[in-house]
Amino acid sequence: MALQATGPVGAMAWAAHGACSDVDPDSLFVSGAAQHRAKRVCGSCPVRLECLAEALDNRIEYGVWGGLTARERRTLLRQLPEVVRWRPLLDARLSSATPARSDRSRYAGAQE
């Protein structure tokens, strides 16, 4: 498993379902342009939304999380500094974006 639970037990239970669960964890914690190659694994990940919300909520500054590079996450955080809990916002954006509807149903099945 690439991403390890760091908080209370169960706080990152979703990580066990990540598409990166069988890749070298170091491959996601790279810098610069290497992050764009590393994030390809996230494209098929059933817990991408959970992963991205975790990184944004906790202002995680390194590595690829939820299919975004550290720089891409910083951009989001700068654009919406008032957001404390990202999951509801990400859910709302998915439900309003037609191309993402199939993603939403995938994510719904992955939540426990």
Phi, psi of 52 (to 5 degrees): -65, -45
Indicate which single residue of 67, 91, 100, 103 sits in contact with ligand SF4 (rule: CB under 6 A): 67
Q: What's the distance, CA 47 to chain centroid?
A: 7
Q: For residue 7, with 0-12 CB atoms within 10 Å meaning exposed, 13-18 middle and 19 or more buried, which class applies? A: exposed
Size of the site for ligand SF4 (CB under 6 A): 17
Distance CA 104, CA 25 (A): 26
Q: Among residue numbers 37 through 56, which ones bind ligand SF4 (CB under 6 A)?
A: 41-42, 45, 47-48, 51
x/- track of binding to ligand SF4 for residues 72-111 (CB under 6 A): ----------------------------------------
Nearer CB in complex with ligand SF4: 4/81: 4
